């Protein structure tokens, strides 16, 4: 069973309140590890890290965990994962601003975001499972975020200014009409490079090593991660879409859908033949393959692999570039386009740090 924060176990303690920000970090993987590095830079000098956890261990210190080797140390040392003591460390810090940072892909933790906001904690997240999950969870989140800040920049475009732009447009009375683009950094990296000269599975292993994919790359290849981002954007734009309202094309062969992650990673070559065939067919017609997300004016949403001409804007992306083309009532004849790297440890960690620093 995965460890989660059990709020009911927190005993209020009388601690003198001090101005400042205390944080706990959940997840010390690709993104959490990069954030730990950023926390040791001058930009984060005002923040006090009072708790850090991976799925199995944690360390707490209500004063400040200043150790630089925390990520490595947690692999072998630390208290067993005890939910209550992380929140307790935040309470005992006495800080006026208390922030929980979720750098995991854990569904049970995401399910707690609304509850933490209700309890007075700010939440900053790279984890998309709540905002991009079931509509009921999204609605609970909207009610709770009136109480405290929900920093979600990292959930879309790895921190590209998509959600902030959308909110600003809405504040001005503008409305999203349609949305189109490439919302996955890993799939962008894969299809920008894939020319049939080396197997798709080799590129996928590379993307995973570089920290672009989800912990289980099937979350990317299945379209699930892209669908979540589409839902997050659409919902933030006022389209109350349910998960079942997005048509999703999966690139994961049927035989690899039910196996465990380790088995999937050992059988990556099974992806190669179907994608080589689709690539060759597209090439013969002068097109290229891109994994696109689309939302039309009637609220119809689809994510999947599309053959586009070489002149299409999505055909001219590089590296992990994401591209978000927003057509709104005021950006009507030409869409507002936001483009840039959409995955990777440093940019994502920076998005988390930026959201924390913006609180207050």
Ligand X SMILES: NC(=O)C1=CN([C@@H]2O[C@H](COP(=O)(O)OP(=O)(O)OC[C@H]3O[C@@H](n4cnc5c(N)ncnc54)[C@H](O)[C@@H]3O)[C@@H](O)[C@H]2O)C=CC1
Residues near ligand X, by CB under 6 A? 2-3, 26-32, 53-55, 103-106, 109, 126-128, 154, 158, 185, 211-212, 214-215, 343-344, 348
Do residues 350 and 41 lie in contact, with contact meaning Cβ atoms separated by under 8 Å?
A: no
Least Å distance, CB 274 to ligand X, is 25
Least Å distance, CB 4 to ligand X, is 6
Distance between CA atoms of residues 60 and 54, nearest Å: 12
> Does residue 209 have an active-site annotation?
no
Catalytic residue among 75, 229, 283, 300: 229
Q: Which helix (H) or strand (E) holds 59?
A: strand 57-60
Q: Which stretch binds ligand LTNE7NMQ (CB under 6 A): 61-69, 132-140, 184-192, 308-316?
A: 184-192
Q: Which stretch binds ligand LTNE7NMQ (CB under 6 A): 52-60, 116-124, 164-172, 209-217?
A: 209-217
Least Å distance, CB 111 to ligand LTNE7NMQ, is 19
> Using the rule CB under 6 A, is 83 a contact of ligand LTNE7NMQ?
no
Distance between CA atoms of residues 35 and 325, nearest Å: 29
Q: In terms of CB distance, is 323 or 328 closer to ligand X?
A: 323
Residue 109 interacting partner from ligand X, ligand LTNE7NMQ, none (CB closer than 5 to 8 Å by kind): ligand X
Tokens standing for residue 125: 């997240």
> Using the rule CB under 6 A, is 323 a contact of ligand LTNE7NMQ?
no
Task: Reduce the secondary structure of the chain to three states and give it as a string.
Answer: CCCCCCHHHCCCCCCCCEEEEEEEEECCCHHHHHHHHHHCCHHHCCEEEEEEECCCEEEECCCCCCCCCHHHHHHHCCEECCHHHHHHHHHHHCEEEEEEEECCCCHHHHCCHHHHHHCCCEEEECCCCCCCCCHHHHHHHHHHCCCCCEECHHHCHHHCCCHHHHHHHHHCCCCEEEEEEECCHHHHHHHHHCCCCCCHHHHHHHHHHCCCCCCCCHHHHCCHHHHHHHHHHHHHCCCCCCHHHEEECCCCCHHHCCCCHHHHHHCHHHHHHHHHHHHHHHHHCCEEEEEEEEECCCCCEEEEEEEEECCCHHHHCCCCEEEEEEEECCCCCCCEEEEEECCCHHHHHHHHHHHHHCCC
Residue 184 interacting partner from ligand X, ligand LTNE7NMQ, none (CB closer than 5 to 8 Å by kind): ligand LTNE7NMQ
Q: Of 135-154, which residues contact ligand LTNE7NMQ (CB under 6 A)?
A: none
Which residue number places its CB atom closest to ligand X?
29
Least Å distance, CB 118 to ligand LTNE7NMQ, is 26
Least Å distance, CB 131 to ligand X, is 11
Least Å distance, CB 284 to ligand X, is 33
Least Å distance, CB 56 to ligand X, is 7
Total number of residues binding ligand LTNE7NMQ (CB under 6 A)? 11
Residue 138 interacting partner from ligand X, ligand LTNE7NMQ, none (CB closer than 5 to 8 Å by kind): none
Of 150, 194, 212, 264, which lies in the binding site for ligand LTNE7NMQ, with binding defined by CB under 6 A? 212
Of 174, 214, 224, 321, which lies in the binding site for ligand LTNE7NMQ, with binding defined by CB under 6 A? 214
Tokens standing for residue 99: 């922030």
Residue 220 interacting partner from ligand LTNE7NMQ, ligand X, none (CB closer than 5 to 8 Å by kind): ligand LTNE7NMQ
Spatial neighbors of 136 by CB under 8 A, at least 6 apart, are none
Residue 55 interacting partner from ligand LTNE7NMQ, ligand X, none (CB closer than 5 to 8 Å by kind): ligand X
Catalytically active residues are 229
């Amino acid at each position: 069973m995965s460890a989660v924060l059990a709020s009911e176990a927190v005993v209020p303690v009388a601690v003198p309140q001090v101005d400042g920000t205390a944080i706990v970090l959940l997840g010390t993987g690709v993104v959490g590890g990069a954030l730990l590095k950023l926390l040791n830079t001058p930009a984060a000098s005002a923040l006090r890290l009072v708790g850090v956890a991976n799925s199995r261990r944690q360390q707490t210190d209500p004063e400040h965990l200043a150790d630089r080797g925390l990520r490595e140390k947690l692999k072998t040392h630390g208290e067993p994962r005890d939910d209550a003591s992380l929140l307790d460390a935040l309470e005992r810090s006495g800080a006026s601003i208390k922030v929980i940072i979720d750098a995991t892909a854990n569904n049970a933790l995401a399910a707690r975001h609304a509850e933490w906001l209700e309890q007075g904690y700010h939440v900053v997240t790279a984890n998309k499972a709540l905002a991009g999950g079931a509509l009921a969870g999204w609605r609970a989140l909207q009610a709770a975020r009136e109480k405290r800040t929900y920093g979600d920049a990292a959930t879309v475009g790895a921190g590209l200014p998509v959600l902030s732009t959308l909110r600003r447009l809405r504040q001005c009375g503008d409305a999203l009409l349609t949305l189109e683009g490439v919302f996955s950094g890993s799939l962008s990296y894969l299809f920008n490079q894939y020319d049939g000269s080396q197997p798709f599975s080799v590129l996928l292993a590379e993307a995973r090593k570089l920290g672009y994919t989800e912990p289980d790359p099937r979350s990317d290849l299945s379209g699930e991660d892209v669908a979540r981002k589409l839902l997050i954007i659409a919902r933030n734009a006022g389209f109350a879409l349910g998960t079942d309202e997005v048509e999703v094309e999966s690139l994961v062969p049927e035989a690899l859908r039910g196996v465990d992650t380790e088995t999937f990673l050992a059988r990556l070559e099974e992806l190669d033949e179907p994608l080589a065939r689709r690539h060759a067919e597209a090439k013969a017609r002068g097109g290229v393959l891109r994994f696109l997300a689309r939302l039309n004016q009637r609220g119809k949403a689809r994510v999947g692999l599309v053959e586009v001409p070489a002149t299409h804007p999505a055909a001219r992306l590089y590296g992990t570039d994401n591209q978000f083309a927003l057509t709104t009532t005021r950006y009507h004849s030409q869409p507002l386009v936001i483009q840039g790297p959409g995955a990777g440890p440093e940019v994502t960690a920076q998005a988390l740090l930026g959201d924390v620093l913006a609180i207050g």
